[in-house]
Amino acid sequence: MSELINIEPLAVEGVMDYHCHCDYSIDAAGTIEEYCHIALKRNLAEICFTTHFDSNPYSDGKDNFIRIKGEKVPATVENLEPYVEDVRKTAEKFYLEGLSVKLGLEIGWYEGCEEIVAKVQDRYDFDYLLCGIHEIDNICFCCHSSFEKYFSQYSATQAVEKYYRQVNFAAKTKLFNTIAHFEYYLKYGLGFYGEEILKAHKPFLEEIFQTLKETKTGLEINTSALRHGLNHYYPRMEIINAAKKAGVIVDYLGSDAHRPEQVGYDFEVAVALVPDTVHDTNG
């Protein structure tokens, strides 16, 4: 898939991008204001910033940082303050231009993060908490440098089962609005295992959907899979449809933008999947 991004306005009104990484994330570029300008050009109604917040003390990668004014600082509850203030200040400014700006965070999930997540929410009152499952056994399975370390220990079914177990745990905490990029193991798992991984989810979905429904935890539609060379979103269409049918909330689109020009990436197409949350004000 091409990295050429079309900064044409979307034809539909009321579209929201609920997964954007500005330069407070150590792997992203572009200021909050730069993202907002692009969001306006794209004719979005709302943008939600979801800076990475990784705090697993046992993480193999030990990349638990955020960036403030160009400096890497530890990802602590206190250090989120400048980010929170920046988003809120920018929200005031862009409100007058017709763009709603929301304060979110992509929490890097691990068993035991509940305490720090509760502290974060207590102190700042985030609009949206996204659960990013990136690590299993403290190894990042979606990082180029470490996916083999994870996958080589397991069969496709085992690797996928362990992933869904974590989704289940995360949803049961009821701390998160939405699970980010469901089926994210496909990013490198498809290349590693081949097509058998495409069916490996089947024994686990029913229980997962039940948990998501009961806990009112949503599933995001994340378009970044196309940028990862896959021919679908996270999750795949059949899973989006099955989740909706099972009563799971599927309300939010996320581009997972790591650069401003990726805001609203492929939303021309994706917007049809969330008809209830997008309102065509012309029609």
User: With contacts defined by CB under 5 A, how many residues of the chain interact with Zn ion?
Assistant: 4
132 part of the interface to Zn ion, by CB under 5 A: yes
Q: Which is nearer to Zn ion, 12 or 178 (CB)?
A: 178
183 part of the interface to Zn ion, by CB under 5 A: no
Phi-psi category of residue 194: left, alpha or beta, with phi > 0 → left and psi -120 to 50 → alpha: left
Contact indicator for 269, 277 with CB cutoff of 8 Å: no
54 part of the interface to Zn ion, by CB under 5 A: no
Q: Which is nearer to Zn ion, 12 or 102 (CB)?
A: 102
Which tokens hold the place of 40? 């306006």
State the Cα–Cα distance between residues 58 and 150, nearest whole angstrom: 15
Q: Minimum Å distance from CB 93 to Zn ion?
A: 24
135 part of the interface to Zn ion, by CB under 5 A: no
218 part of the interface to Zn ion, by CB under 5 A: no
Contact indicator for 171, 211 with CB cutoff of 8 Å: yes
Q: Minimum Å distance from CB 251 to Zn ion?
A: 17
Among 256, 260, 264, 265, interactor with Zn ion by CB under 5 A: 256
Contact indicator for 35, 49 with CB cutoff of 8 Å: yes
30 part of the interface to Zn ion, by CB under 5 A: no
261 part of the interface to Zn ion, by CB under 5 A: no
Which tokens hold the place of 30? 């572009």
Phi-psi category of residue 232: left, alpha or beta, with phi > 0 → left and psi -120 to 50 → alpha: beta
Q: Minimum Å distance from CB 75 to Zn ion?
A: 14
Residues that bind Zn ion (CB under 5 A): 106, 132, 180, 256
